[in-house]
Amino acid sequence: MAAAPRDTATVEGAAGPRGAAARRVRMVPGGPVLVEGPVEVVLEDGRTVTSDRFLVALCACRRSRSYPFCDTSHRRRVRTGDQDGDQDGGQRGDGDV
């Protein structure tokens, strides 16, 4: 019998590798990634940021002034560029409104 692939989903409520309950993550179309908190987020540069809130909105568009947390600034910022949704090249729009 072959082992299951490592990236398969687990059943809801299953214990994670450290014995903690699984976190619910919800993808919002055109919006943030909602994660049941508290959470610890490891950034690309290795820094760690934490939030003790019961529900944490993580920015998916990278235009948040409080990245990696969503502050809804994507609603106020004008997109420029291509048509596929990643119109700012995946870069944070610091300073542009």
- Locate 66 and state its tokens: 């409080």
What is the per-residue pLDDT for 80? 60
- 79 three-state secondary structure: coil
β-strand pairing of 33-36 with 39-42: unpaired
Residue 92: pLDDT over 70 = no
The strand order across the sheet containing 55-58 reads: 25-27, 33-36, 55-58
No. of helices (H) and no. of strands (E), the chain: 0, 5
Residue 87: pLDDT over 50 = no
Compute the distance between CA of residue 28 and CA of residue 74 in angstroms, rounded to an integer.
Answer: 13
**pTM > 0.85:** no
What is the per-residue pLDDT for 26? 95
Give the pLDDT mean for 4-11.
Answer: 44
